[in-house]
Amino acid sequence: MRRGTPSGPDQRARLVFVIPAGLLGVLLAWALSDVPVDATVRFGADMAGAAVLGLAALPRLDGRFEVPWRMLAALAGLWCCLEFGVLIFAAGEVVGTGVGGLGPADFGTYLARISGGQIGVAILLGTAAVAGYAALAYRLPRQRTPDLVLVFAAVTVTLRPITGHMSQQAFGSMLAGVHALAASMWLGLLLALALVVRGRGGWASALPRYSAIAMPMVAAIAVTGVLNGLIRVGGITPFFTTGYGRIMVAKTLLLVVLLVLGWWWRRTWVVAAGGHRISAEGSLRRAVLEVSVMATAFGLAASLAISG
């Protein structure tokens, strides 16, 4: 089987642990601060967006990889549906009726007149465009390029952060956009590798390249996250006295765990994979573990976005 073809269902099935790991992050945020239930939908949308971004970026990571267009189209379609769910929950909150009492007229008003609704529509159009193009690309293999998907996905991933609460602060939009894009690419690329790579050769080629670009992305996430947090809460004390601040602390601690794990992987897993001294199953297990921890952080981040 080619290096770029998806791995078997028995291997991909392990990635199901990513979902409860992310929901654990939402549950932890709920324990630290009363987070709305729609944080679970936001987490799903963010994960789907990261997966789409990662799959589209695979050829940039290693030119021998081919984009699994059918998988990409399915994930982009799921992303679009989840973003619609995010939009419905947001409309219910703004109108004040909740999802159960939201009527078509109120929903239409939210989409047409409220900036959050207009941004949501733009995000829906972006995800629909990615899903439609991926489906078309699957049918027309000679007339497709992953770069177009990569651009649309990157813009769509950053659209809500750059227009959110941080946009009211100096450099807030830039910090929020860099943070969201770096986090999505960091998780999305490793998730894409876990979905696509099969065989020692694939991991030997791709993992060292991923490790090399992961460090700058983590640095960008850490710096922008700290600056965003300080600007948002307005000091050190609110990190421990407010629900938002406590979630930020939990997310920071989890990032530290990921940094330690990444340091250890670079000394062990990356070296072993590059030297063909670890099986594909062993690499997949490690990738699933790291993506699951990342998903927990994404669950906390989604809760922050909703509660912020």
* Three-state secondary-structure class, residue 278: coil
Q: Which amino acid is at 199?
A: G
**Structure confidence at residue 278 (pLDDT):** 94
Q: Rounded to whole angstroms, what are the CA distances from 277 to 265, 270, 283?
A: 14, 10, 10
Q: Could you tell me if residue 208 is inside a domain? A: yes
Q: Higher pLDDT residue, 242 or 78? A: 78
Q: Could you tell me if residue 2 is inside a domain? A: no
Q: Could you tell me if residue 4 is inside a domain? A: no
Structure tokens at 206: 């791709």
Q: Could you tell me if residue 251 is inside a domain? A: yes
Q: Could you tell me if residue 3 is inside a domain? A: no
Structure tokens at 188: 């999305």
Question: Computed from CA positions of residues 232, 234, 240, 242, in that sequence, does the dihedral angle turn out positive or negative?
Answer: negative
Q: Which residues contact 118 (CB under 8 A, 6 or more apart)?
A: 111, 112
Specify the residue for token string 């993506």.
291
- pTM for the predicted model, two decimal places: 0.91
Structure tokens at 114: 């409220």
**Which CATH number covers residue 260?**
1.20.1630
The CA-CA-CA angle for residues 215, 46, 300, to 5°, reads 75
Q: 238 pLDDT band (50/70/90 cuts)?
A: confident
Q: Could you tell me if residue 110 is inside a domain? A: yes
Q: Which ranges of the chain would DSSP assign to H, the alpha helix?
A: 9-12, 18-32, 39-61, 69-95, 104-113, 115-139, 146-162, 172-196, 200-233, 238-241, 243-267, 269-274, 280-307
Residue 306 pLDDT > 90: no
The whole-angstrom separation of Cα 181 and Cα 61 is 16
Specify the residue for token string 């992303």.
79
Q: First vs last Cα of the chain: how many Å apart?
A: 47
Q: How many structural domains is the chain composed of?
A: 1
pLDDT tens readout for residues 18-53: 999 999 999 999 988 878 788 999 999 999 999 999
CA atoms within 13 A on the CB side of 1: 13
The whole-angstrom separation of Cα 279 and Cα 200 is 6
Largest CA distance in the chain: 61
- Domain extent, residue 40, equals 9-307
Q: Which ranges of 96-199 would DSSP assign to H, the alpha helix?
A: 104-113, 115-139, 146-162, 172-196
Residue 99 pLDDT > 70: yes
Length of the chain: 308
Residue 13 pLDDT > 80: no
The whole-angstrom separation of Cα 196 and Cα 249 is 34
Helix (H) or strand (E) holding 168: none
* Three-state secondary-structure class, residue 244: helix
Q: Could you tell me if residue 143 is inside a domain? A: yes
φ, ψ at 17 (rounded to 5°): -65, -15
Q: Higher pLDDT residue, 165 or 263? A: 263
Structure tokens at 134: 């991926």
pLDDT tens readout for residues 112-159: 999 889 999 999 999 999 999 999 999 887 778 999 999 999 999 999
Q: Could you tell me if residue 106 is inside a domain? A: yes
Structure tokens at 60: 């940039």
